[in-house]
Amino acid sequence: MNRFSIRDIEKLTGIKAHTLRVWEQRYQYDFSKRKEGGHRYYDGEDLKKILRLSFLYKRGNKISSLLEIDQEQLASYCLQDLNAGIHAEPFRQLLESVSNFDEETFNQVVHLQVLHNGLQKTMLEILFPLLNLIGNNWLCDRVIPAQEHFCSELVMKKLLLAIDGLEPVYAENNRTVLLFTPIGESHEIPILFMQYLLKKNGSKCVYYGKNADIQVLKDICEVHHPSHLYFHLITHLDDCPLEKYLQELLSHFPDKKIVAAGPAMENQSLPSQPSFTWLKDCEAMLKFAAADQVNSWVPHY
């Protein structure tokens, strides 16, 4: 059984521990379970409940009203919101093929979309929204982890084939980008997609993959001498706070440009050094891949 700390719950749901405590005290609602010693912990069902509340709360619903609704009804409300207006073809076909573990149909639909629209547009307009929807539908008990894994693996295969099939392009930007995810981040598809975009636009890439610690990055830099270190963060579950991790990267790699993207970077206290850039949206990520000038946007809290 999965067990999560309150810090994990904050990162996965976007709801602060203080906010959960206030809700518990005000509405006499306990979100957690307790060990024999009295310490709090959260299991997968607790996480699912809080994610449902977070999803609906951020869409303008009052928490007092949401806490009066049973979990089955909350799941139904989430499903209605998530699935509104997105059953057009080929989206529906892909959802159905994932539900049925139908690899042949999935590949056929994606292949046709790539032929007509190209991989970049297919990823941005169909496959990333599909992955988000499948992940969110877990809240509604409409998707099991095996289906999410099935879809992710098929998308990764498509990206790997596309990357391998790109003809070498020699640009004059003299960039070499090391791509990785930090310890605790297992989502690899976003950095594979960035590798595809970079290679397509003529930048050299060194691809490490997921769960890279600082020492591994240092060893790679000694061999390949990248100009940029790029990572994408969706869920930061490492024990090291994100602010401290970013400062460690800047300290260990003072001659590199550190570039970060992903939703876990939002609402964080980010470094203001010129060598750090946060790509805050898809447009900024595409500009970076194309070697266009990207202005970092650093929030201060």
Query: For residue range 113-168, what is the model confidence (pLDDT) as tens digits?
Result: 999 899 999 999 999 988 887 876 666 666 678 888 999 999 999 999 999 999 87
Here the tokens at position 91 are 């989206």
Contact 124, 282 (CB under 8 A): yes
pTM for this one? 0.74
Domain residue spans of the chain: 6-83, 91-165, 176-289
Specify the fold of 91-165.
1.10.1240
- Identify the H or E element spanning 198: helix 189-200
Contact 156, 192 (CB under 8 A): yes
Least confident of 77-81, 107-111, 194-198, 296-300: 296-300
Rounded distance, CA 197 to CA 174, Å? Answer: 16
pLDDT of residue 50: 83
Q: Which CATH number fits domain 6-83: 3.30.43.10, 1.10.10.10, 1.10.1660.10, 2.60.40.10?
A: 1.10.1660.10
pLDDT of residue 298: 42
Query: What is 176-289's CATH number?
Result: 3.40.50.280
Question: Who contacts 130 (Cβ-Cβ below 8 Å, separation ≥6)?
Answer: 91, 94, 95, 98, 151
Q: Which residue has the tokens 């963060």?
A: 233
pLDDT surpasses 80 at 273:
yes
- The candidate with the shortest Cα–Cα distance to 204, out of 170, 167, 231, is 170
